[in-house]
Copies of this chain bind each other. A is one copy, B any other.
């Protein structure tokens, strides 16, 4: 074994796979161009018996395909960092890395979900989690189980060999600029934090609407569905950022403590009353004809998997008492829309009674990730003219301008792993409590079937009905998007 040194190594397991080619390596190249990789050494590991040169050639091709912008100088420097090692996920094969790596190392499991618990164990059994020459970290991506029990089992297997602080669980939504901006906006602006509470807010809506269908993921997706694939992780995570109490410090444990506090405060869901599921039938999405979910290749033609799910949650906290938190996510909807939106209560309207102000749209604070990244405040201003009328105005801060360098979620997350910052990664208790929130719904949905909704629409009729009087989903397309 080589002498320990400080040069860190990133090992990408599954280096020949889709995730690595499409997201990881392009993000690493982008960090190279920002001069953020320093002396990082990168090892690609996969079962193929490639030489370094063969791997480099494939890498250049996939980087070209990824659409990432690069300068040849940086690409060459990046390629130089990268070695390839062929091998399978057996202890014997992985033990070879033992002699190759000295110093700190990060193992990024770009592997299929069914494999990575075993891979984490094998890496450890090959002696690679030994920290005598520097830290050893493990990066894994969702799914973290398919229900509370499997999540606990997966975690128990990981924790046999890895400490919690060595594990970096990625939810790539947490690397998105807008999600981070939710905390900055809430807590760095004096005017907004005091009013983000039940006294002034009467509803929170979190939407992740997609126009895409299953897109070749049907083998994984069918039997999993929108509740597990999107709500349990991405939307519930967004809720924790939207609802958490202000932490005293910008400290990863403190922030995650506050997030878990939100999760634990969720009142047990009554699936009958507070959950709705749907499955898309054929329709037109953005003018293109799309087939029904059950007709998609790889999907069971009698599948009862939901491609749309909506939940109404309540937090039993002082801050959010009585404020419904509405989550919805679906595929093949009429428009792509990712946002967190707070609706404010009406002001005492007697002041403007018998004026058109009485009926104006209430205030909204919206953090939008898609179609554009921006922060919006929907406000009422006086309508110019001689009468006392109000109109809705949108105060908007575009998140990026053409001069801004927006980092991709993976860049952000890779850099944070390299720096050992756990803030945007899930601690196990977050995973566990998210599963506990959806468990009653998973149980209820073992029977019955989702309601059909037409592809290209705004989801099943039941998802609108269940909101009740005085509540309505925000339109997927905002007037300002035109």
Contacts A190-B363, A200-B194, A247-B351; A399 near B384 (Cβ below 8 A): yes
The distance from the CB of A135 to the nearest CB of chain B, in whole angstroms, is 21
B379 touches A393 (CB 8 A): no
Residue from B194, B348, B384, B397 within 8 A of A393 (CB atoms)? B397
In the complex with contacts A195-B195, A246-B351, A347-B188, A385-B397 CB distance below 8 A: no
A348 partner residues in chain B, CB cutoff 8 A? 246, 248
A189-B380, A379-B189 known; A385+B407 contact, CB < 8 A: yes
Is B200 in contact with A380, judged by CB distance below 8 angstroms?
Answer: no
In the bound complex, what is the Cα–Cα distance between A399 and B382 (angstroms)?
A: 8
Any B CB within 8 A of the CB of A122: no
Does the CB pair A188–B394 fall under 8 Å? no
The residue in chain B whose Cβ has the minimal distance to the Cβ of A36 is: B386
Size range of the chain A interface in the assembly: 35 or more
Q: Are A384 and B400 in contact (CB under 8 A)?
A: yes
Within 8 A of B (CB), among A265-324: none
- Say yes or no: A189 contacts B384, CB within 8 Å: no
B residues within 8 A CB of A355?
A: 250
A249 interface hit (Cβ, 8 Å): yes
Q: A395 an interface residue at 8 Å Cβ cutoff?
A: yes
Q: In whole angstroms, how far apart are the Cα atoms of A353 and B251 in the complex?
A: 11
Q: Mark A18-45, 1 if CB is under 8 A from B, else 0.
A: 0000000000000000101000000000
Q: Could you give, for residues 372-390 of chain A, a 1 whenever the CB lies within 8 Å of some chain B CB and a 0 otherwise?
A: 0001110111101110101
Which of A65-73, A76-84, A179-187 forms part of the interface with chain B? A179-187
Say yes or no: A412 contacts B386, CB within 8 Å.
yes
Interface status of A128 (Cβ within 8 A of chain B): no
Chain B hits for A192, CB < 8 A: 191, 195, 379
Q: Tell whether A357 is near chain B: CB-to-CB under 8 Å.
A: yes
CB-CB nearest in chain B for A197:
B194
Q: Is A365 part of the contact surface with B, judged by Cβ < 8 Å?
A: yes
Chain B residues contacting A162 (CB-CB under 8 Å) are none
Measured CA separation A44–B127 after assembly (Å)? 101
A393 to B394: give the CA distance in the assembly, Å: 14
Q: Is B379 in contact with A397, judged by CB distance below 8 angstroms?
A: yes
Q: Confirm or deny: A345 has a beta carbon within 8 angstroms of a beta carbon on chain B.
A: yes
CA distance A360 to B348 in the complex (A): 34
In the complex, the chain B residue whose C-beta lies closest to that of A344 is B190
- Contact partner of A380 among B188, B346, B393, CB < 8 A? B188
Q: In the complex, what distance in Å separates the CA atom of A350 from the CA atom of B248?
A: 7
- CB of B363 within 8 A of CB of A377, answer no
Provide the A413-425 mask, 1 if CB < 8 A to any CB of B, else 0: 0010000000000
What residues of chain B lie closer than 8 Å to A345, measured between beta carbons? 190
A159 part of interface (Cβ distance < 8 Å): no
- Across-interface contacts of A195 in B (CB, < 8 A): 190-192, 194-195
A188 in complex: contacting residue of B181, B199, B390, B399, CB < 8 Å: B390
Would you call A352 an interface residue if the criterion is a C-beta within 8 Å of the partner chain's C-beta atoms? yes
Q: How far is the CB of A68 from chain B (nearest CB, A)?
A: 16
Query: Across the interface, which residues of B come within 8 angstroms of A385, CB to CB?
Result: 404-407
* A384 near B406: Cβ-Cβ < 8 Å: yes
CB distance from A323 to the nearest CB of B (A): 13
CB distance from A160 to the nearest CB of B (A): 34
A residues contacting B by CB (< 8 A) are: 34, 36, 177, 180-181, 184-185, 187-195, 199-200, 246-250, 344-348, 350-353, 355, 357, 360, 362-363, 365, 375-377, 379-382, 384-386, 388, 390, 393-397, 399-400, 404-407, 411-412, 415
- Extra pairs beyond A385-B404, A385-B405, A393-B397 (17, CB < 8 Å): A34-B386, A181-B381, A187-B351, A188-B347, A189-B344, A189-B363, A190-B195, A191-B195, A192-B379, A250-B388, A375-B395, A377-B377, A384-B399, A384-B400, A384-B404, A384-B405, A395-B397
A-B contact pairs, 21 of them (CB 8 A): A184-B380, A187-B347, A188-B352, A189-B380, A190-B344, A190-B347, A190-B363, A192-B379, A193-B347, A194-B199, A246-B351, A248-B351, A250-B353, A250-B388, A375-B379, A379-B397, A381-B397, A384-B404, A384-B406, A394-B397, A395-B395
